[in-house]
Structure 1
Amino acid sequence: MLENLNSLGFEAGLTEEEKQRVYLRSRSAGLTVSGCAHAVFVCQLVHLLRMKLALVSENGSSSKTPLCVGILGGGNMGKQMAMVLLRVSSLEPRDINVSTKRPETLEEISKMGVECYYDNIRLAKWAGVLFLCVLPSQISQVCADLRSHLPSRCLVYSFPSAVPLKRDVTAALQDKEVLSALVPLSMSGGLSLDQSWVSAVLYSLLNMCTAEKLGSQMALRLLNEMFKTSITTSNTLTVQHFVNPPCASALMNSDDPFPWINLVGAQTKTTPLSDLVSGNKSLQDCISFTFHNTFSNLLGPKDA
C-alpha cells in the first residue's frame, strides 16, 4: 500500500541543498561493490599462488594447507564478502570463518558450510587472510585487540564501511559493464583506485614466496605465470622491478629469496614496481585480464 507514496521516500524530506548530494549514495554503493570485487581478486590470487607454491616449494608445508579466510564482522559488509567469496572464488565453505557478535543472523551462510561464531581472537589465530569488515570507528580497537594474536604470515585486509548496501554484490558483478568499470588500473564511472594498491598486492604475493624461502628467479617465474606476462618481453616481471639496483644485482648473482617487503612502505612511497605498474600498458592489460578471469564464472560465454 505504501510502495508508491513519494512522500515516504528517502528524498521527500531533503532540502534543495541536500538533494545535490544524493549522488553520494550511489557513489558509496559503487565503492562498496568495487571494494568487494578487489578483495575477492586478492583472495583468488593468494589462493592460486599457494597452489603453485605447494608444487615447487621444498618446505611448503604452510602452502599445502587450504587458505583460511577470516571475516571479522557479520554485518551487511561481512555477509556480502562471504557470499561473493562463496560464489566467485575457488575457496570451499570450510575455508571461510566469520566472527560476529550475532552469529545467529548468519543462518544462510552457516547452512552453506561456513563456520560462524563470536571469537575474534580465535579467528585471528586461524586466518591466513583476515578481512576487517567493521565500522571505521571500530578499526583502531579491533587492531589493538588482535595485534598480538595474528600469525606472522597473515595478510590483514582492512575493509571498513558505514554505508549499508541493499544491492547484492554478486548480482552487480554479473553485469559486464559494472565489472569492466572495476578493473583496478582503469576504473571508470567516477570511481578510482590508488595504483599503489596494485603494487601492494604484487608485493604481498612476493612476500609469500619469500616466506617459503623460494629463490628470486622461481618467485618471478610463478608471478609471471599467474599474470601470463611471459608472452612478451615488455611485460615480464624481473628482479629490477621489485627492488633497488644494488639488491637486484645481488639477487641476480645468487638467486637468494627476495627480502621481506614492508607493505605500508610499498603503498606510501614510490617504488620500482609502482613506476612499472603506472607506465607499462602491456602489464596493465595482463592484470586486467587476470581480474576479468576471476569473475568469468559469473558471466555468460559471450561476456566472458
Structure 2
Amino acid sequence: METIDLMDNLMSLQFEHGVREEEVPWLFLQSRSRGLMIEACAHAAFFCRLLQALRKMDGSTSVSMLPLEEEEEDLYKKSSKRDLKVGIIGGGRLGKQLALVLLHRASIPAHSLHISTRRPETLTDLQKMGIQCFYHNCFLVDWANLVFLCCLPSQLPHICLEINNRLEKSCIVYSLVTAVPLPRLKQLLCHTTILRPQYQCAETYIDIWGSNEDIKSALQDPEIVQATSPYRTDGGITLNIKWLEAVFYTALNICTLKEIPYQQALEILSDLCLSVHQKTCGEDKTNCPRFIVTNFVNQAFAKTLNPSNVFPWFDLIAVQLKETPFSQHLRKTVTLQEHLTVLYCASLGISLSQETEEEEEEEEEEEEAPSQEP
C-alpha cells in the first residue's frame, strides 16, 4: 500500500515553517539524525540475523541469514530454546524503532523481544504485537542473550550500576549510546562482550534518507539499504569498520561457547557468510574467499592448536580498539569486502545481482531506443 503524506503541500504544518532564517543552515541535522538512526537499526538487524542463524545451527542442519517469504508468519511462532532472546533498555524513539526493525526486518519473533523502560504504558502498540514491555532492567538482563542500550547518556551510569553484576560472560551488550566510549562502557559494566558501532558524518552529502516513513519501511528501499552497507559512504555517513570485525569475533565466541572445534567453526562461518555470491563470481566459485585460522589469530598461536581445540574467548573491546589479524585481512582482501557487501544487502532482502541486472537491462534499452532527433 502506498504511503500518503497528509502534510504534503500544507506548508504551515511542515517542520521547516517555524524555522527562522538564521536557523535554516542547520536543517541538515534533521536528515543526519534520521540517517544515523537508519544506519544503527540496519546494522543491528544484520547482527541479529547472524546471531540467530548461529544459534539455530546444529550438526545436521544448515541455516541461512537470508530472509524467507514465510518469515512474516513466523514472527508469532512458538518459542524455541535456540531462539535469540533480545532485550532493549530504553523505550524512546530509538528503542521503539529498533524493536520494529528487529521484528520485521531481522525476523526476531515477538516473544523473543523484551523492552525495559520507565514508561512501559507508552508502548501499547508494541505490546499488542506480543512484545513484553516493563520496567525491570535486571530481569531483562537475566533473560536476554543480547541487550541493546538505547537510553540517554545521563541514564547510563545508573543503568550499568543496576545490571553489571547480572551480566553473564556470554551476554552481548550492544551500545547505541554514542556519547559513551568503549573504555568507559567497560569500566561501568565490568564486562568485555560489548559492541559499539561508531559513525562519522561528512560535512556535505546528498540526502537520501527520506523524512516521513518509519525506519522499518525505509529499509525496504534498495537505495537506503545499500547506503547503510559497511563499505558504502552514500548519504554522508561512514561506519568504522572495526564494528564488522567485532561482529565476526562475536560469531567465533558463540562457536566457542558451543564447544565447536576451531576448524569446524571456520567452515560454519564461511558457509554462512560467504555463500552469497555476486554475479562476477561466475559458476566456478573456487576463487571466492574462505576463512582460515590465521585470519583471526596470529601464526604463532595457530601452530599451538590441535584439531579438537576451540578458539579462545575473544575480548570484543580489544578487538574494536586494537589491530587484529582480521583487521589486516579485511583491508587487503577486496573479494572478501565484496562478498560481505552482497551478504549484508541480501540479509536485508536486497539482491545486488538483481539490481545490477536491472541496471544493465535499462542501459541496453536506452542504447536500443531510436533517436528522437529529427
Partner of 1:258: 311
| Matched-pair contact (CA < 8 Å) for 1:53–1:209 | no
Partner of 1:289: 342
- Please point out which of 105, 110, 121 is paired with 2:138: 121
Question: Whose helix fraction is larger, Structure 1's or Structure 2's?
Answer: 1
| Matched-pair contact (CA < 8 Å) for 2:289–2:335 | yes
The farther-off stretch of 284-293 and 117-126 is 284-293
Partner of 2:294: 240
CA displacement at 1:139 relative to structure 2: 2.1
- Segments of structure 1 that go 5 or more residues without pairing to the other structure are 57-62
Partner of 1:27: 32
Amino acid at match of 1:98: I
CA displacement at 1:290 relative to structure 2: 1.7
Partner of 2:227: 181
Partner of 2:273: 227
Partner of 1:41: 46
Separation of aligned partners in 2, 1:198 and 1:161: 17
CA displacement at 1:103 relative to structure 2: 1.2
The farther-off stretch of 195-204 and 222-231 is 222-231
The TM-score with structure 1 as length reference comes to 0.87
| Matched-pair contact (CA < 8 Å) for 2:11–2:17 | no
CA displacement at 1:286 relative to structure 2: 1.7
SS of the equivalent of 2:154 reads helix
1:10-63 deviation line (CA, Å, top 9, x unaligned): 4644353x432321221111011000000011011000011114758xxxxxx9
Structure 1 pair 133–232 and aligned structure 2 pair: CA distance change class (3 A): farther
Separation of aligned partners in 2, 1:186 and 1:216: 31
| Matched-pair contact (CA < 8 Å) for 1:71–1:99 | yes
Separation of aligned partners in 2, 1:9 and 1:115: 33
Structure 1 pair 170–244 and aligned structure 2 pair: CA distance change class (3 A): same
Amino acid at match of 1:256: N
Does residue 1:130 correspond to 2:147, yes or no? yes
SS of the equivalent of 1:183 reads coil
Partner of 1:102: 119
Partner of 2:105: 88
| Matched-pair contact (CA < 8 Å) for 1:99–1:120 | yes
Structure 1 pair 140–259 and aligned structure 2 pair: CA distance change class (3 A): same
| Matched-pair contact (CA < 8 Å) for 1:134–1:161 | no
The structure with the larger Rg is 2
Separation of aligned partners in 2, 1:215 and 1:248: 13
Does residue 1:14 correspond to 2:20, yes or no? yes
Separation of aligned partners in 2, 1:161 and 1:46: 22
| Matched-pair contact (CA < 8 Å) for 1:84–1:169 | yes
CA displacement at 1:170 relative to structure 2: 0.9
Partner of 2:168: 151
Partner of 1:51: 56
Q: Identity of counterpart residues, as a percentage?
A: 36
1:191-230 paired onto structure 2 within 5 Å: 191-228=237-274
Separation of aligned partners in 2, 1:145 and 1:14: 43
Structure 1 pair 239–152 and aligned structure 2 pair: CA distance change class (3 A): same
* Matched length: 291
Structure 1 pair 232–220 and aligned structure 2 pair: CA distance change class (3 A): same
Q: Give the CA RMSD over aligned residues.
A: 2.7
The TM-score with structure 2 as length reference comes to 0.72
Separation of aligned partners in 2, 1:9 and 1:33: 20
CA displacement at 1:115 relative to structure 2: 1.1
